[in-house]
Amino acid sequence: MHRDIVIIGGGATAVAAFTQVVRTPGIASVTTVDPNPVGLGHAFGVSDPLLLCNTSVDVTSLRPDGPSDLLDYLSARGWAARPEDFVPRYLVGHYCRERYLSGRCEAERHGTAVAHHRARATTVRATADGYRVELDDGRRLAATDVLVCLGLDRPRLPELLRPYDGHPRLLPQPYPTGRLRALPDKAEVLVLGSKLSAVDAALVLCADGRRTVMTSPSGRLPAVRTRLCRPDRPLLDSRRWQRLDPRAEDLDRELTRLLLRAIGRAGAGLGLRAQTSSAAVPEERLRQELALAAAGRVPWQDVIAEVIDAINDWTAPWDPALRAEVLGRYRGLMSRYISSIPARNARLISGHLDSGRLSLAPGYPVGIEPVADDDGWEVEWPDGRHERFTHVVCGTGFHTPQLDAAAPGVYRIGPSVVHDAAPEITEDLRLVDPHRGSTERIWVLGAAAHSRTAIVNYLNTAAKQAQRVAAQFTAPAVPAVPAAPSALAA
């Protein structure tokens, strides 16, 4: 059977899927649906050279195994990159774009029809012989198989600001950064958030000399690392990790032992306390962690790539409720260390703090309201103080892509509309229709697979998912089949 594949999404995950699928025999056509040029998605479609990847070249690759394909790409173009380097995000966008274009040419030479529709997919409907993908421009595409590869591009507004969505002095996200750079030179900006997108906002605003205040409920900045690479030798006992019972009373202790042993191997016995800072003041903690990174005393970073794979493999068979319950206990640590920032960014943030251009608020606002006559914002702090800002920027993350089963065989893409009929995603990344009880020929990858894959905002994870999905295409296409229950259903 020849397959006609539609890929929904056009970012790095979509390119990873495309490059794997077009190498598979029996593919008649591959059509990508995304309003932007394929490869230039939300994560890597930025053009600001100030913004770095927070993962190293070694793992920021469309090739899931072996030497980094991104490293080969950069070296061939005269970039003196190393596997451990953090490169500007726009370079990864160009890399994804060029790999898509070269893969397209190769596929067409072998008789596979390739197309790109610059629109958004809104609905996928099951038909007698496959699926129909409906676009927001009215077009409809026939498919035997559908790959949903949507990324994170819909900003999450804090509850305090939802009534003011669309306000001219409210930026719901830092991207594209041209909007930040276009603010008046004397703008005084409140950045909500203290994680990766908030750090990006602060870097751009402070580089142009604008007074900026960052605030978040946790008040914590990400940890500091000098690389995120795959280790030369295994450090983590992954087999033992996979055998852990997520409901065991001693789970915390066993996980801690595994992590400490791995970190000890990475650091030749250097204890974890000697690798981290416990300073209560975020500014001081940042300075201490920068000093540790500069001294090469952060071997914990060399365990992160294995930890990501271990968590994703360990939690993949679980019921979503169990996954949310267990991972929720470690969310703070996972966020701070897995999503740590490059030392270069940390040095810039520290310099802006020392210069006074940037400050970290000691609390999170209890009230934010626009001032009359479009004169900015008035913020009320927990201690009762009031402060004025000309603009507010949200660096508070993004909604995960949503795919809802609006009716039997009808799957709507976008904000959730049917909360009690969310489709399940199998370990093979296939969608299960909650109405029909059938496993569909719809695969979900990357950020869209958040209900099955714990850590999705990581290109190496997307590349591995793409490889797994393409391997399933080597067998003949089969009709939808009844869903199998989760191995660890709640």
pLDDT number for residue 457? 85
> Strands 224-225 and 341-342, how do they pair?
parallel
pLDDT number for residue 478? 46
> Strands 130-135 and 121-127, how do they pair?
antiparallel
Report yes or no: 436 and 480 within 8 Å, Cβ to Cβ: yes
Q: In total, how many domains does the chain have?
A: 3
CA 274 remoteness from chain centre: 30
Same domain, 68 and 113: yes
Is residue 460 domain-resident? yes
Task: Give 383's contacts (C-beta < 8 A, 6+ positions apart).
Answer: 363
Same domain, 147 and 161: no
Same domain, 409 and 310: no
Hey, what are 173's tokens? 């996200």
Is residue 67 domain-resident? yes
Is residue 488 domain-resident? no
- As a whole number of Å, the CA-based R_g of the chain is 23
Same domain, 8 and 120: yes
- Of 317, 339, 361, the residue that ends a domain is 339
Report yes or no: 222 and 199 within 8 Å, Cβ to Cβ: yes
Q: What CATH code is carried by the domain that includes residue 73? A: 3.50.50.60
Residues of the chain falling short of pLDDT 70: 1, 415-420, 475-490
Same domain, 229 and 202: no
pLDDT number for residue 483? 40
Same domain, 139 and 72: yes
Query: How would you list the strands of the sheet with 377-380, edge to edge?
Result: 367-370, 377-380, 386-389
Is residue 299 domain-resident? yes
Same domain, 247 and 201: no
pLDDT number for residue 333? 86
Same domain, 26 and 143: yes
64-71 contacts, C-beta under 8 A, 24 or more apart: 64/460, 64/463, 64/464, 64/466, 64/467, 65/467, 69/99, 70/95
Residue 321: Cβ within 10 Å count: 11
pLDDT number for residue 484? 39
pLDDT number for residue 487? 35
pLDDT number for residue 472? 94
Same domain, 40 and 124: yes
Task: Give 447's contacts (C-beta < 8 A, 6+ positions apart).
Answer: 13, 150, 151, 152, 400, 401, 456, 457
Is residue 25 domain-resident? yes
Residue 228 lies in domain: 224-339
Beta bridge partners of 482: 438
Crossing angle of helices 69-76 and 89-109, rounded to 10°: 100
Is residue 316 domain-resident? yes
Torsion of CA 32, 33, 35, 41, to 10 degrees: -60
Hey, what are 484's tokens? 């199998």
Same domain, 214 and 356: yes
Is residue 487 domain-resident? no
pLDDT digits (tens, 9 = 90+) for 259-308: 999 999 998 778 888 999 999 999 999 999 999 999 999 999 999 999 99
The backbone torsions φ and ψ at residue 308, rounded to the nearest 5 degrees and listed phi first, read: -60, -50
Torsion of CA 348, 354, 359, 360, to 10 degrees: 80
Distance CA 146, CA 442 (A): 5
Distance CA 194, CA 299 (A): 24
- Of 394, 427, 461, the residue that ends a domain is 394
Q: What is the 3-state secondary structure (H, E, C) of the chain?
A: CCEEEEEECCCHHHHHHHHHHCCCCCEEEEEEECCCCCCCCCCCCCCCCCCECCCCCCCCCCCCCCCCHHHHHHHHCCCCCCCCCCCEHHHHHHHHHHHHHHHHHHHHHCCCEEEEECCCEEEEEEECCEEEEEECCCCEEEECEEEECCCCCEECCCHHHHHHCCCCCEECCCCCCHHHHCCCCCCEEEEECCCHHHHHHHHHHHHCCCEEEEECCCCCCCCEECCCCCCCCCCCCHHHHHCCCCCCCCHHHHHHHHHHHHHHHHCCCCCHHHCCCCCCCHHHHHHHHHHHHHCCCCHHHHHHHHHHHHHHHHHCCECHHHHHHHHHCCHHHHHHHHCCEEHHHHHHHHHHHHHCCEEECCCCCCEEEECHHHCCEEEECCCCCEEEECEEEECCCEECCCEEEEECCEEEECCCCCHHHCCEECCCCEEECCCCCEEEEEEECHHHHCCCCCCCCCHHHHHHHHHHHHHHCCCCCCCCEECCCCCECC
- Of 394, 412, 436, the residue that ends a domain is 394
Hey, what are 32's tokens? 């990508």
- State the amino acid at position 176 in one-letter form: P
Same domain, 207 and 238: no
pLDDT digits (tens, 9 = 90+) for 426-448: 999 999 999 999 999 999 999 99
Distance CA 249, CA 255 (A): 12
Distance CA 429, CA 407 (A): 21
Is residue 142 domain-resident? yes
pLDDT number for residue 372? 84
Question: Which residue, chain included where needed, has tokens 């690479």?
Answer: 229
Distance CA 425, CA 433 (A): 9
Same domain, 346 and 446: no
